[in-house]
Amino acid sequence: MKLTRTICLKIIVFFQFLSLVAFAEAPVCAAVFDSEIFGRTVWIQNPRSAPKLFPSTPHLQFSDFNVKVVGDLSSGKTPLVLIHGANSSMETFLPQAQNFYKDRAVVLYDMRGSGNTKEPGAGYDLNVMADDLLVVLDGLKIQKAVLHGHSAGGSTALLFAALHPSRVKALSLEDVSGLPYKARHDLNMYDTSSTIQFLRSMKSSYSSIENLVADASLILKGRPAQTTDHLLKKSRRGTTFSPHKAASIEELMLDVGTRDLSEAYTQYNGPILIMKAEYTSRYLSEEHIKRIQILRPNAEMVVMTQSGHSIHNDNPVLWERALKEFVERVAP
């Protein structure tokens, strides 16, 4: 996406205007900018003032999950499980899954509260998500799988591999480290270069600047986003975030952003592939990479060019090539 400095400055002014209006009209709300929430500023109820939803975490049965298997689980090859990130759905991986099924079965599922899976009011931390993955594998009678997780899905896969190493043939992480980072952050509106980088990273979600600005305006007014593609619309169920939904996403993202899964790299000793996006660094920084190389010197690292946080959407050809080569080598 080629942007002129004038257009960037207009975007900066617009978002500054949104901030002023929102704080003037909705003092009980908080602005959370996170690329896990599709790279936009989302105005939600302040999590500090949000009510406690349930005293305990509801357990989900296999029948509560929306699961799709592409290919034949009895093919003899280790199945590949694709795990989406927070506030997304299995459909983000569906186009890519079609290209794997001739070689091996591919399993996709909506995490709790996403897509068509049941949406409990509480229990959106990584431990619960790892337990949910176990329910899905057991329900499909899969004893061992190759796991690929994007963002929060990657943290889920990493934790699962540490808890159940015998169930994981190999592990692939997409733009996530499993190490702490600042989960909630604001876009620096005075830095044009960071604005350009942000827009580049979101190119798979927005076809134009006008669409990005239009969605920001709609969300500010408490209305659903309307300009993005069908994947984003489906992941939002066509409705705005409720306080409960917002609190659940905040719960998961705070856990992902503050959880230190360093020990997982030593508790699981199988093959690991780590995909790093070219245009983002917060979730998988140079410091994270250095730490991982100390913990697991044999972990494979690959920088995915021309891609933001959602590598599988931004550069699907390179994503597929890297993942296929890895999977065929470690799980023939």
- The pLDDT tens digits of the residues spanning 168-182 come to 999 999 999 988 875
Which pLDDT score, from 0 to 100, does residue 259 have?
Answer: 85
Successive 10-residue mean pLDDT values, the chain, 332 residues? 48 43 33 33 33 57 95 94 89 87 90 85 83 97 98 94 97 92 42 42 49 48 43 36 54 79 93 91 86 94 90 92 96 90
Convert 103-116 into a string of H (helix), E (strand) and C (coil): CCCEEEECCCCCCC
Under 8 Å between Cβ of 87 and 281: no
Helix (H, G, I), strand (E, B) or coil at 9: helix
Rounded-to-integer distance, Cα 158 and Cα 164, Å: 10
**DSSP type of residue 323:** H
C-alpha 121, offset from chain centre: 20
Could you tell me which CATH number the domain at 64-181+255-330 has? 3.40.50.1820
C-alpha 222, offset from chain centre: 23
Which pLDDT score, from 0 to 100, does residue 295 have?
Answer: 94
Q: Count Cα atoms within 13 angstroms, Cβ side, for 147.
A: 35
List the chain domain ranges: 5-50+183-237, 64-181+255-330
Under 8 Å between Cβ of 301 and 265: no
Which pLDDT score, from 0 to 100, does residue 124 have?
Answer: 81
